[in-house]
A and B are shown apart, each in its own frame.
Chain A
Amino acid sequence: MGALDTHFVPALDGVAYGLLLFVAAAGLTLLFGIGGVLNIAHGTLFALGGYLAATVSDGSWSSALLGLVVATVGGTLGGAVLAAGTLPLADRGHLPQALLTFGLALVGGDILSTVYGGDPHPVVIPDSVNGTVHIFGHVYPTYRLLFIVVASVLALVGTYVLGRTRAGALLRAAADDRDMVGAMGYAPWRVHAALCGAAGALAGVAGGLGAPIIGPGPDTADKVLMLSMVVIVLGRPGSVLGAFGAAIAVGEIETLGVSISSNWAPYLLFGLMAVALVARTFRGAAASAGAAAGAHA
């Protein structure tokens, strides 16, 4: 019980952190897995959401809600810029699109640092959730508990939309066969724009919601991009459920892992990422070799 007791708070922090990463990475994995755009500017959209929420926050519930709305709208608009920029490059493969988003990330980061300066911007949390609660004899910040609830709801809604609605089915269909979706009468550019907009909105809302956990500052964009990248690689690009598991795992590494072994935790993330990539390539090669052998038999 002793070990469980010491690590209870970091473990719960890990869940909150993981859920935040899930909401952030969901946009990246959708856009990459379905739209084929490796969006280097994803972290910048997250930071934009955080800054916008921090700007309007004054400690009241209405300002907190307004902050979320503004962050979502800002993220969506950023996604629209992304859609307009990447659409002409759709036929030229991954690299030009990734380079374009890197350019947009540099420009966006420069604008954000010009407007908001180099210091982190704290968000003012509404008073009623700014205290602490007792869970199983541990003191825990109320906001983080609330965050765990809200992010879980967001994750469920997102999974439902993608898995059970017509719009979600369309996006999944676009991942498998874009031309067929076009032939069914859905203009590819609309699907692409919807995808970019949704990815931007997810990044923005994650930034707004998560601002008290990963506050908007000069390092936010890079940090979120890197962590989201690890999440989508570990969870397989395009897979929402995979991203969920990976996000929680990464969240735990970043909190519980650091509290257990601060020496090794930093290596664990990118080590796992490299191992996952290589292991998957081996498995893929073995599977295709097996399929080829089966075809010849």
Chain B
Amino acid sequence: MKVPEVLLARPVRLGVPSAALAVLLLIAPSSFDGYGIGLMSKALALGVLAVSVSVLAGFAGLPTMGQAAPFLVGEYTAGIMGTHGHTVGVVQLLCGTLTAAVFAGATGLVAIRTRGVAFLMTTLALGELTVTAAGEWRSLTGGTDGMYGILPVRPLPGMATLDSDKNVYWYVLASSAVVIAVTWWVLRSPVGKLLLASRDHEARLRSAGHPVTRYQWLAYVAAGALAGFGGVLMCTVNQYVAPDDGSFATSALVLLAVVLGGATSPVGALLGAGLIVATRDWLSGPFPGHGPLLLGLMFIVAVYALPDGVAGIRLRAPRRRGGAA
């Protein structure tokens, strides 16, 4: 069956998923119970992380396996503030984003030197180092037991604390909508074009005088900041932080979310994250404990059925020794 021409038009192609997502996000709280709403909030926080991976992997051409590290930094920043009585949401978001950006600025100096599979593995190593540090630095993070006793958040100074799942959801939805809109706006500007150019034609862009390494570092820092923002939101939802949140598994799941949604689509990444959370925590309800099985099957189907989504993320083949000569 041939797809009608009108369905392929750009406004329809982009508008329909976005509209569907918006409707889903707005009507969800009235039709779900507390658990379902909590899952939606988690999916949004994870969605912000997925958008950050889409910026790096899809736009900048740097497929990362360690984006959960700045996410974890954001989570811990919010957790430490929350246990010490600093409960204003906006302040937490600013501090967490800033800390994660500084963290990404430092680790980015290392990671950005590599490309392709080496970048994948470097970010993996950096991510594991971060998880190790979070587990060992007990005085700050509470070690592998995790950090608890985190107070609920007030969105703005003077506002009431968020005492119900539904209120937390609206707060998370509003915050992530703002930050994703900003991201989308930046990516639509010439900045996004420069990133795509550095992904596809790095050598050409360099010889045209562009400081490509600096662009990639800035993209890494911005993506780190975005991941940190998502981490702060996750901390608000869970009121609990543990080193495992930053593990390799989180990074890989989010990479799958981006693959599912098409690498260069922030809305797609958000939908992908929603699909993953729904599969892992909600669809697996009838088969308790078998979330990984469903996720694994989804990975397998996605790889075969969504070649475009996968191909959107370019992974340059490693240069073989002597092969270029």
Contacts and interface: CB of A to CB of B under 8 A. Distances in A.
A282 interface: yes
A265 B295 CA distance: 34
A131 interface: no
Interface of B: 63, 110, 113-118, 120-122, 124-126, 128-129, 132-133, 135-136, 248-249, 252, 255-256, 259, 289-290, 292-293, 295-300, 302-304, 307, 310-311, 313-315, 317, 319-320, 323-325
22 contacts: A36-B317, A88-B304, A92-B310, A96-B310, A98-B120, A99-B299, A102-B256, A103-B300, A106-B292, A106-B299, A109-B292, A110-B290, A110-B293, A111-B293, A114-B290, A229-B121, A270-B128, A270-B129, A271-B129, A274-B129, A284-B319, A288-B324
Given A103-B298, A278-B114, A94 B122 contact: no
B307 A92 contact: yes
B122 A278 contact: yes
Contacts, number: 124
A190 to B, nearest CB: 22
Interface in A248-263: 263
A209 to B, nearest CB: 26
B216 to A, nearest CB: 13
B126 A95 contact: no
Given A99-B256, A281-B114, A94 B315 contact: yes
Interface residues of A, number: 47
A267 B320 contact: no
B133 A267 contact: yes
B297 A107 contact: yes
Given A95-B63, A96-B310, A266-B136, A38 B117 contact: yes
Q: Is the interface of A mostly helix, strand, loop or mixed?
A: helix
Nearest to B256: A99
Contacts of A180: none
Nearest to B65: A98
A109 B249 CA distance: 13
A267 B293 contact: no
A288 B325 CA distance: 9
Given A270-B132, A274-B122, A281-B118, A106 B313 contact: no
B121 A107 contact: no
A173 to B, nearest CB: 13
Interface in A213-239: 222, 226, 229-230, 233
A169 interface: no
A185 interface: no
Contacts of A206: none
Given A99-B259, A266-B136, A107 B117 contact: no
Given A230-B125, A267-B136, A270-B128, 19 more contacts: A85-B300, A92-B311, A93-B314, A95-B63, A95-B310, A95-B313, A99-B255, A99-B256, A99-B303, A99-B310, A105-B296, A106-B292, A108-B296, A109-B296, A113-B289, A266-B136, A273-B122, A278-B110, A280-B118
